[in-house]
Amino acid sequence: MYMHKTITGQSKDRFQMPRKMLRQKLRLIGEYMQVEIRPIKNNETTRLKEFLYEAIYIPEGVKAPQKDIIERPELRVYTDDFGTKQGDNCLVAVVDNKIVGAVWTRIMNDYGHVDNDTPSFAVSLYKDYRSQGIGTKLMKKMLSLLKTQGYKKASLAVQKANYALSMYEKVGFHTVDENEEEYIMVCEL
């Protein structure tokens, strides 16, 4: 139990752990969780729209956008006709027979586009499965797959305030460009 002083200076009990301690605890739980990483099945590709919405970074205190935001042309490039275009690869994370996350790549003119030979990444996990190492496992498996397919590098775009930035750096991505809101990152394979 944690104590928290109110504005009046009185202490009150807090049942919420500090964020850093909670992440550490979740990471330990994730190490013992049985996670299967496998290619997405053809009949599951429609789930990518769901994961695309989950991938939208929403800063704390900001209202989440409507779910139909994923129908915007700049976001549909991530999911339309998935499996039919160059660089289309998708791996999913499965826990207790439930898909809880996905990482997918495609050569497309998206936010992380660097050239027409480099697949761009999208990665997403349901909130309850974040900060447990699952995203890192997905990213490492996808990077390995891309390397075996002969790609020389992979790219992504991440908002500067996104907590996932450190995970991307940990698996080998580095910043090659930036704008006001985002870093464009590349991982050499």
Domain with residue 42: its CATH number is: 3.40.630.30
Residue range(s) defining the domain that contains residue 132: 13-188
**Rounded distance, CA 103 to CA 105, Å?**
7
Residue 174: inside a domain: yes
pTM, two decimals, is 0.81
Instruction: Tell me the pLDDT of the chain (189 aa) as tens digits.
Output: 333 333 334 434 444 445 555 454 444 444 567 899 999 999 999 999 999 999 998 888 889 999 999 999 999 999 999 999 989 999 999 999 999 999 999 999 998 999 999 999 999 999 999 988 999 999 999 999 999 999 999 999 999 988 899 999 999 999 999 999 999 999 999
Residues 6+ apart with CB under 8 A from 85: 106, 107, 108
Residue 6: inside a domain: no
Is the CB of residue 103 less than 8 Å from the CB of residue 123? Answer: yes
Residue 1: inside a domain: no
Residue 3: inside a domain: no
**Number of domains the chain contains:** 1
Residue 33: inside a domain: yes
pLDDT at 60: 83
Residue 4: inside a domain: no
